[in-house]
Amino acid sequence: MQKILLIASLLIASTFAFQIDNQELSSLWSAWKVIYSRYYHPGEEEARLAIFQENYKKIMKFNAQSDSAKLGLNKFSDLTAEEFKNKNSRCAFVEEDEDFVKANTEEIFEVGDLPDSIDWRKKDAVTPVKDQGQCGSCWSFSSTGVLEGFYAIKNSKLLSFSEQQIVDCDTNDYGCMGGWPYQAIAYAGKNGLEGEDDYPYTAQDGKCQYEKDKATKINTGYTFVKASDVTALKTALVKGPVSVAIEADEEVFQSYSSGVIKSDCGSSLDHAVLVVGYKTIKGVEAWIVKNSWGTSWGVSGYVYISTDPKPNGGTGVCGILSQPVIPK
């Protein structure tokens, strides 16, 4: 109960306060350390508190100016911007060979009038939010997410597949150093995937322990969805969740708390996530995006990103339209 009250007070303070005195900030810091189980050496705590204070000021300034996305204190609030970039992004690569991508892009068949909203969570095709930890394996989480949805829709059975198998056994990628979601989906097409319980996640590179007899056959391969095309992505979403790459190393991601991100992130793609649908939030249409940073980040582990295609040269907000991919 005490921890719940601390969390509530922390959220209230970080969402609504604009000015806060030193005593209140000290109390906020103490509550934050309890919530996120932070312990520092005496010489380190002063430095981390200074970073925390600076992040708090940035959050308050952003919230005062933003009419949509809101920021708040979270598990990344004691990190500098550079530390956040190094720890929580740069984990996904995209295919830069345009001819290769074009050759492996299939037009998604027309599905008639597109629905006003889609949310595959409501159709039991999305597993609970997971946490990649301090391993640059976002590409594997994006891949298992899209494969879990693909399998659930085909078989009316939702299974949680093993990211660790992909990290350890997909030799075309680089484990905790990053990878390409489409190559992970191709790996699954050839080998199948074991379940999360049979091959649990360790957040570190390991020796491949794949057992074929425990693997589930899911797909045969992958296809890219037409890039820079909102209608193409929506059409693909009618059939199931979609793996996408975004830029996630900016302040708006480090401290994201709620609302729709409409700007403040570019298209230097460094992170892979899962689009599970779209809907309109307070007049703004947004992609519903599942992240892999645990449920304490964002909206219980999710982020809403505007479907506006105009930013970043037509690749959308955070570059989300750059390179969508799905299983087949």
Catalytically active residues, by annotation: 138, 271, 291
Euclidean distance between CA atoms 145 and 153, whole angstroms: 12
> DSSP alpha helices (H): ranges in the chain?
2-16, 22-35, 42-65, 81-88, 98-103, 138-155, 163-169, 181-191, 230-239, 251-254, 311-314
Closest by CA to 107, choosing from 191, 16, 225, is 225
Euclidean distance between CA atoms 137 and 192, whole angstroms: 18
Half-sphere exposure of 123 (CA within 13 A, CB side): 21
Euclidean distance between CA atoms 134 and 9, whole angstroms: 28
CA angle 96, 97, 98 (to 5 degrees): 100
| Helix (H) or strand (E) run with residue 327 in it | strand 325-327
Euclidean distance between CA atoms 147 and 244, whole angstroms: 13
Helix (H, G, I), strand (E, B) or coil at 98: helix
- CA distances from residue 283 to 68, 280, 306 in whole angstroms, order as listed: 10, 6, 11
The whole-angstrom distance between residue 149's C-alpha and the CA centroid of its chain comes to 16
Tokens of 61: 């300034």
Q: Concatenated DSSP letters for 269-310?
A: --EEEEEEEEEEETTEEEEEEE-SB-TTSTBTTEEEEE----
